[in-house]
Amino acid sequence: MQKDLSQYTLRLADSALTMGQRLAEWCGHGPYLEEDVALTNVSLDLIGHAHMFYQMAGAMQEPAVTADDLAFLRDAHEYRNPLITELPRGDFAYTTLKQYFIDVFNLYLYQAMATSTHEELAAVAKKAGMEVKYHLARSEAWCERLSLSTDEAKARIQQALDDLWFYTPELFETDAAMQRLTAAGVAPDYATIQQQWQQRVEPFMALCGLTLPQAGWVATGGLQGEHTEHLGFMLAEMQFLPRAYPGCEW
Amino acid sequence: MASPSKAQIFQWLEAVKDPEIPVISIRDLGILQGIRVADGSVSVDIIPTYSGCPAMYAIQADIKQVLQAHGIEQVSIQLCHEPVWNTDMITEQGRESMRAFGIAPPLQADQRTVACPQCGSTETTCISQFGSTACKALYRCEACLEPFDYFKCHA
Ligand SMILES: [Zn+2]
């Protein structure tokens, strides 16, 4: 159980960290000041979630390691996030739609996890879940605004949908460790989350006047540590300082 | 030296303020959760406001500094996940200090509109859900035209 949970919390942490890092790249590049602040605020929350999950994961390892060790001293093949969270930030429409997909996923994920039989996981999920509500209110409103505004905005968000749609099924992938945790009431049931996600996202895409792509390559591999080349570049930048100056602190 | 009482330590820690809102103490913010005293060492439990709040590091350093200034050498601080913080944990005193500082305190259950901390008008508009820090949104008063921070309701 301990080993399963340590692996699972790493997937949660890696997903939140890579999302947070991509959003942080918007710092100073947002379309206007308030949005710049919003993007980095959401980033900070996600990095906070990653920190809580890394602390849990690190405490369960033998010997115990710190959250920083896990974030900064593992290579790409040791990361367990789904591919969608490591994709480059793209334009604002792409970032917004990706954020919306992840926010809806996180909403149902943390809602279910808040009733986990594992007390610490439940507490962290409650905390994260409260913050995700704000994230979703923002990304949902922006998806609608972009989709129903100028031709340029609409074309860009439709392009983002075409590019991103087949990365979303990977969010609901599970492995044997996760399935054991779900059976034990520790992790949520991902099939249920997938249903909830589809029931919310698909009608909303229609409301936005967006067309779901019919066929494409369906992403997979993150759970096994098989990533896109983008993750390596992200880690090279993110991990440079702790690797160049081991043990340094602010 | 005799161990100081819990009440004494609570009082000392009144000096530790939120670095982002330097008029409100960590007790009034609701994040100071517990104190244990044993043989001259003190252990303090705090909970984070927002999970990514960078002020938590400064707050931990400040707690240590204040207690060490009162002669306590052994200070340990736990950042706990429970209880989960929400804005109802902010004390009445905390809300009042916030308002006096120019930040509108979070809405309570029976309130519907955010009042301007400058002139008290409830004719206010949200400019951005995300303000200068994770806990604040940006508002503008339509009566006195001043922009102000609103401490978001989080429950
Ligand atoms: Zn006013």
Give A-chain residues touching B85 at CB under 8 angstroms.
Answer: 127
Phi, then psi, of A84 in degrees rounded to 5:
-60, -35
CB B63 within 8 A of CB B75: yes
pLDDT at residue number B1: 57
pTM over 0.90: yes
The domains of chain A, with CATH numbers, are 2-244 (1.20.1260.10)
H or E, element range at A14 = helix A2-24
Nearest CB to A34: which of B81, B84, B127?
B127
Cis bond upstream, residue A203 (ω within 30): no
pLDDT at position A24 is: 97
How would you list the strands of the sheet with B74-79, edge to edge? B32-38, B41-46, B74-79
Distance to chain A for B120, nearest Cα, Å: 25
* Residues of chain B where predicted confidence (pLDDT) is lower than 70: 1-2
Type of residue numbered A247: G
Mean of per-residue pLDDT scores for chain A: 96
Residue B73 identity (one-letter amino acid) = E
Q: Check: CB of residue B128 under 8 Å from CB of residue A38.
A: yes
ipTM for the predicted complex: 0.82
In CATH terms, B6-79 corresponds, of 3.40.50.620, 3.30.300.130, 3.40.50.720, 3.60.15.10, to 3.30.300.130
How many residues would you count in chain B? Answer: 155
* Residue B52 DSSP SS3: coil
Render pLDDT for A122-136 as a digit per residue (tens, 0 to 9).
999 999 999 999 999
Nearest-Cα distance to chain B for A177, in Å, is 24
Question: Is residue B54 less than 8 Å (CB to CB) from chain A?
Answer: yes
Using 50 as the pLDDT threshold, list the residues of chain A that sit under it.
none
pLDDT score of B50: 86
Chain B residues with CB-CB distance to A38 below 8 A = 128-130
List, for residues A68-106, the tens digit of each pLDDT value.
999 999 999 999 999 999 999 999 999 999 999 999 999
Domain boundaries, chain B: 6-79, 87-151
Output helix, strand, coil percentages for chain B, rounded to the nearest 5. 25, 30, 45
Q: Does the beta carbon of B70 lie under 8 angstroms from any beta carbon of chain A?
A: no
Q: What is the pLDDT of residue A232?
A: 98
